[in-house]
Structure 1
């Protein structure tokens, strides 16, 4: 029932080279896809990038004639990074706007809270950047993800620690499914693999505006490295306050995802952000699919900057949903979900297959994970030093100085 049909290249060629109209687009109602993402509060900059990617995807598809003779229309809804607003936004998108699928989730807590509503509504929902393992290990037929999962992130951290001889690992994590889940995962890795790491985690309220007491304890403890597991504004706050007490950059700090690759990073932190290391889900020099190359060029034309992962992934998710509609011959959500399982797809960065695999690999496609360091103020991702993995390494960790 779930045997993949090898037709991805055909659809990609149709997208890139010609229309895939079936009936006149003007005669049919738009197909609506929801983008439920944070546009206010802490992670608003990530949500904004996801919206940019989704809108470019709709324009890309519609310029080729739409799908099944219908235009794609994205409906934007702000979840403000809060579970309650995510649920109310979901209800609006499904009940009033009648979307056939939803993308855009950044926060793991929100995404987890939306699994049952998605099942009840019978529509597919994509995690654009939410990474908690429970999202896909739920084995929900409605859940799909083309973003990193936390075990992959933790694997990269452990390899990086071993590469640099780090033993005393300070962790500053927000009190969310994302933050708490990563702390638990690192503890599990350390115990089950007998890594011999000394972990000192602090869980803080994600709405806190003073992390200094916890950071001072990590400084006095003599951490070899500090992991910054904050999302949005509080992640910047951790860097600023660690710099002010001379914990960072004297002690290396690793951000838990690619927010330091955004242009706003240097506007927010200036010199205080230099020497920060961070997880990245790719690199400007990596090989992209044909549609990925098109998107990168179009994004740079529109915004005079390279797209971050969240923008590229949102673009790819909208295109894959449109492709599933094409394969299904219908915009019925149940038919879309079946087609998402039955076919191979192309995302911006490579092929995707949504398998009914075990554990967190259910309906999961993972990007590559790099650890990158900024070594000069104003650097972009492409200018930074790749520290990990060893086969892609372009340099060694630079010790921070003021």
Structure 2
């Protein structure tokens, strides 16, 4: 095991992310029922990206317990209990391919949920051959060829425009920014999105975005290079949790006094502890705690968000809530609703029911099946997204901003920056 791997796993173990052996399937969440529908969970459960997999599986455990306690899902004349079968892809395409084969051939799952990104090309040929419905949290995986791949919850990276839009409206005196990101399939499209969002807001990006090797462990030089440009805003893009934490700590240690913005701030309480409430005050990101009272507004479709958060904290600890803790559960709401309307668990029939009418109940409101201009296919469910700011050490939703409204004004900017980084669907191999 390399030093890099040890550091990543050591960090994630503090976030309850590294709890399974790498490269093996997880135990099933089994139920005593005559009829069971199995759902595949193919995501990183260990390693550097586990913070965007393991908490989501934990959320699915709560979702399954609630649904099964209510008697299960009625599909046609039958009632099914739900069983999740998980496989750790370690954010690796070869593992994702192996996992997809196992979940489909051995476990007979009817739907597979993935984080997406680098592992998707490994699973894609298997899913296509077997005509399996798959969800991703990264719409940048979508292309005209991915007919059975959907992004029904998270619309990374385009939702990042909402944070910048809110920032420009509420802090118009901030005029310059710097950006850094890991050099991978998560970082690049997100950098393109932030570049477009800053340009639309009239905020100058100083220098070129800094792309660092994902094996980086010393973040002091990166922060020093960013601070040397004397920016008003530091943007941490869609950096992984174990990059956001040391980068934020370095900004604090090196005396930065300006604005910070990031796609995520998973386990932000630990950043507050290692810096200060004063330093983290005003930190902008895109993922709320679900005890937020704004999630009780009528347009929100997530089932009992405050109760879900309370149950999550009870089971796993308050500091373990992260960006994906609710997302896979939200996708399951859409899947179960579609399966019931289709009177079937057949992947093609469920997909047809899911997309009927061209709209769907995304977690934060009614949304459109969208994406043809950006992704080549209308398989992303896009609508409102929250802007979250840390206030007195606690994440608070400030507003729900419309992604389609921003796109209608600035789509040419986003396409321009996506093309510059070779991130448009017609540029990807």
TM-score interval, smaller chain:
0.7 to 0.9
Query: How many residue pairs get matched?
Result: 352
DSSP 3-state at the match of 1:73: strand
2:179 corresponds, among 160, 164, 171, to 171
1:69 corresponds, among 79, 85, 89, to 79
Match for residue 199 of structure 1? 206
Would you say the 8 A contact 1:160–1:388 is kept in 2?
A: no
1:94 corresponds, among 104, 120, 137, to 104
Match for residue 398 of structure 1? none
Deviates more, 1:275-284 or 1:89-98: 275-284
Match for residue 16 of structure 1? none
Deviates more, 1:193-202 or 1:322-331: 193-202
| Residues 1:239 and 2:248 are matched in the alignment | yes
Within 5 A, what are the aligned runs for 1:262-301?
263-266=269-272, 269-271=274-276, 274-275=280-281, 277-282=283-288, 284-286=292-294, 287=297, 288-289=300-301, 291-293=303-305, 295-301=308-314
Match for residue 121 of structure 1? 130
Q: How far is 1:39 from its partner?
A: 1.6
Q: How far is 1:96 from its partner?
A: 2.3
What does the per-residue CA deviation read over 1:118-140, in whole Å, with 9 as the maximum and x for residues that have no partner? Answer: 22221111124x3xx53235462
1:220 corresponds, among 228, 244, 249, to 228
Match for residue 323 of structure 1? 337
Q: How far is 1:89 from its partner?
A: 2.4
Match for residue 147 of structure 1? 154
Deviates more, 1:115-124 or 1:300-309: 300-309
RMSD: 3.3
DSSP 3-state at the match of 2:42: strand
What does the per-residue CA deviation read over 1:17-52, in whole Å, with 9 as the maximum and x for residues that have no partner? Answer: xxxxxxxx8433x21101122221223233222012
Q: How far is 1:204 from its partner?
A: 0.2
CA separation of 1:213 and 1:138: change in aligned 2, threshold 3 A: farther
Q: Distance in 2 between matches of 1:297 and 1:210?
A: 36
Match for residue 36 of structure 1? 42
Question: Which runs of 5 or more residues in structure 2 are unaligned?
Answer: 1-31, 403-429
CA separation of 1:330 and 1:71: change in aligned 2, threshold 3 A: same
DSSP 3-state at the match of 1:70: strand
1:257 corresponds, among 255, 261, 264, to 264
Q: Distance in 1 between matches of 2:34 and 2:400?
A: 52
Q: How far is 1:226 from its partner?
A: 0.9
Would you say the 8 A contact 1:87–1:113 is kept in 2?
A: yes
Q: Distance in 1 between matches of 2:201 and 2:362?
A: 37
